Chains A and B, each alone.
Chain A
Amino acid sequence: MIATNGPRTDLRRSRAPRSVRLERRLPRWGIVLALAIAGAGVAAAADATVTFVDGGVNIRTEAGAVRRADFGSGVNGGDRVITDRRGEAELDLAAGGTVRVAPDTVFIVSGTPTGESQSRVAAAVGSFNFRFRAVAGNEPRVGSTTSVAGVRGTELVVYVASDGTTRYEVIEGRVEIDSDGQTVALGPNDGVEVRPGRRPGQVFSLLERPIDYAVWNSGLIDEFLSSPIDSIQGLAAEMHALIDEVERRAPQSDAVSEKARQAREQLDAIREKEGDAAAEKHFTDVLTPLRIAARAEFVSFRFVVLSALSLDQYILSRLAAEIEAAYFFDPDASVLSEFRAVLDGVRARYERIVVPRLVPSDV
């Protein structure tokens, strides 16, 4: 067994009270300045705000830029928060709820829900604690790129292993997990593991099965190496499901963007022909709602695209590199050929459907 992950945070333990943490992090003038910025609307525009950061934490934005996270940093839907081996962050979600991101985690932020859409909170790999503290009924969907749970008034911890296995631990409230056509309900102190492309495992009591992430993760990688074909088939099924969703939603996303683009073009024509007042009306009544809808659609669609990207980047590539390393000097091994055949099949479809939605700075 190869334990490779760095120090982990105990996500089940509460952190120090918020006021104490802010004072540790910021001098008094810093808090005043941060509140002034928030009051000016800068922080309010973001889908999440960084409220605590320690060690190496980066935000990879939807435009592909990478910036260091700091207290007060805004995180938008479509951004990824990436912690290194010693990095840790806490985010306040605009939709309600707090997320503590543990070291060695890639966390994906979806947008604030608008209308009937529901926000989503997921890690591609690593772990996080999610605590919901807003109006019941608006809870986001929580999980990973391969599994998702509906939550109700909940605090839970989600662990995502390098083979895509997702483990849910419920601290408070209730959680329902759908996977492979089966639903499992969890209450306080219950836990369950979901393997990619498989039904959820047996519900267990948290007291019976405490977790050390590094040991758990490396044990799963060892299991993967003992039966890599089963694992890659399960992951391929999850990737195909994400690609299906990208394929299904792409026309809608493109249509809304195109409508907003056309409305923007009409704005200049209306101003020229009908004057400023008519242009103003067009801007308020037509262009602005379309832009809001296009933005919401883009962020929601982008979440799916990023999920597929992250599954490829952090799970499939890692597992493929592990098996290539294990058979480095035996490249014709039949297990390696079989593994590559499954992986190449799903990646060919990924390249055709998902990659056109990415830019180089996404990877």
Chain B
Amino acid sequence: MKPRLIALAAVAAVISACATVPPSARDDRVADVIALLADAPIPSVVEQASLPFLFTDQVVSSESDLTAVLTRFRSAAVTIDPVPVASIPAPGAPSGSRFDVMVFYDRLPDDARFVRVETGAGPLTIIVGGSRNRRPLLMGILRGAP
């Protein structure tokens, strides 16, 4: 009886941990989003993205604009390794940011994270947070490591 209780308790603990850990803090879920960015059709990437979207230091406000920008990014980008290397909680807006960029950072959800991703041409950072389809939303793409 006792081992069964312990096993049940362990299962309950795992389930409750899953329920409380946001998708943006789970490497497997973040890896799913990076994989989308790497090679899924652009509409699927946009479906998993949120607006407004921060691309480098530009705030993209509409779905059609994001589709265009991601299409351009994809055509310019090299191979993306679909594994999150490291991540940090969302920092504040860089000093001297424009108004729209500061508002973007202010509105990031509490669970937003900046994730380092490796590509054939160097690192980039993706911003993930919130949740849709049990995966974090893609909220931005920045140059370099976080």
Contacts and interface: CB of A to CB of B under 8 A. Distances in A.
Interface string A297-341: 000000000000000111001101110111111010000000000
Interface string A85-118: 1000000000000000000101000000000000
Interface residues of A, number: 33
Given A104-B62, A363-B100, A322 B68 contact: yes
A66 to B, nearest CB: 12
A241 interface: no
Interface in A107-152: 125
A162 interface: yes
A355 interface: yes
Output the residue of B57, B60, B121, B143 with the most chain A CB within 10 A: B60
A351 interface: yes
A203 to B, nearest CB: 29
A198 B56 CA distance: 29
Contact of B64 (A4, A327, A347): A4
A312 B67 CA distance: 19
B77 A318 contact: no
A360 interface: yes
Contact of B65 (A312, A321, A355): A321
Sort chain B's interface into a size bin. 20 to 34
B36 to A, nearest CB: 17
B65 A329 contact: no
Nearest to A214: B64
B143 A331 contact: yes
A2 interface: yes
8 contacts: A4-B64, A84-B62, A221-B68, A314-B62, A317-B58, A318-B60, A326-B72, A328-B56
Q: Which 8 A-B pairs have the closest CB atoms?
A: A325-B72, A321-B58, A4-B68, A329-B121, A325-B73, A324-B56, A321-B55, A321-B69
Interface of B: 52, 55-65, 67-73, 76-78, 98-100, 103, 106, 119, 121-122, 124, 143
Interface of A: 2, 4-6, 84-85, 104, 106, 125, 162, 218, 221, 312-314, 317-318, 320-322, 324-329, 331, 347, 351, 355, 358, 360, 363
